[in-house]
Amino acid sequence: DVIVLERDPQGNPMLRLQSARLEPQVHAELIDQAIPAIPPNVIRPFLSAPLIVEAHALDHAPRIVATAVDRVFLGNGDLAYVADADPARLDWQIYRNGKPLHDPESGQILGYEAFYLGTARQVERGNPATFEMVTVTQEVGYGDRLLPTISPPLIAYVPHRPDFAVNGRVISVYGGVDVAGRGSIVSINRGSTDGIEIGHVLALERNRVVSGRDEQDGKATLAIPPQRIGLLFVFRIFDRISYGLVVQSEGTVDINDFARTP
């Protein structure tokens, strides 16, 4: 019921009952996002990039053999000469052979990481062919390899928690550094064969060991509950390795930190 307070013609206050009919309605309100949106420009180069390759997979790919102005390193707009390029393909991506990725638990090599250096366009066919550097994210030079650009797949990145226990480890920070933070891309030693899916959100944790004191034995080393240091959003998966974007972090994320079910 709705009660209305009003005044009569003489100015005296009075209450009046106003009939009202209530019906179900949809009410919407803005809530804070649990997982921040992924900036498309951060992961776009990695959606179609073969981040993980077999050993020697890039050995027979077209390679830069010379530069137009005898520069050691190339930047945006510079020209380079590439041997063995397919004349039918215009747009290419540039890579450099990377390090092997080892499983910290078994010691096995899970794959080899190919570092993405940028994009190039074939402007004059031949062998060697003339290429123009379009976007260079890192230094490009002699011996770097090129692969044809592949259109990234259309994927709905829906954040969701794994419905099973995940206990993986961070095995590398993309870009050749040892520590990561918010906005960094890291790889973990769990992939599609372990049930990992695109959109999985994992908690980044660090096991902590501190020095304590025992009443009987004196000093002792104690393991205390793991410390949550961030959140990882998985955006690309391979058989035994997955790549994710660090969307939240408290401090740094180090190699060998844990990636677990939140």
pLDDT band, very low/low/confident/very high, at 139 (cuts 50, 70, 90): confident
Look at residue 154 in the predicted model and tell me its pLDDT.
63
The more confidently predicted of residues 145 and 159 is 145
Topology of domain 167-213+221-260 in CATH is Thrombin, subunit H (2.40.10)
More confident call, 89 vs 1: 89
Query: Rounded distance, CA 129 to CA 108, Å?
Result: 39
Does the pLDDT value for residue 8 go beyond 80?
yes
What would the two tokens of residue 102 be? 């080892």
User: Which structure tokens are listed for 235?
Assistant: 């955006």
> Could you tell me whether strands 91-102 and 145-148 are parallel, antiparallel, or unpaired per DSSP bridges?
antiparallel
Q: Could you tell me the pTM of the whole model?
A: 0.67
CA 199 to the chain's CA centroid: 10
Looking at the chain, how many residues does it have? 262
Domain extent listing, the chain: 40-148, 167-213+221-260
CA atoms within 13 A on the CB side of 124: 9
Least confidently predicted of 146-160, 181-195, 205-219: 205-219
Q: What pLDDT is attached to residue 174?
A: 82
Whole-number Cα distances in Å, 1 to 5, 21, 154, 189: 13, 8, 52, 62
Higher pLDDT pick, 10 / 43: 10
pLDDT digits (tens, 9 = 90+) for 25-78: 887 766 554 555 566 666 766 666 657 777 777 888 999 999 887 778 898 999
Q: How far apart are CA 198 and CA 191, in angstroms?
A: 10
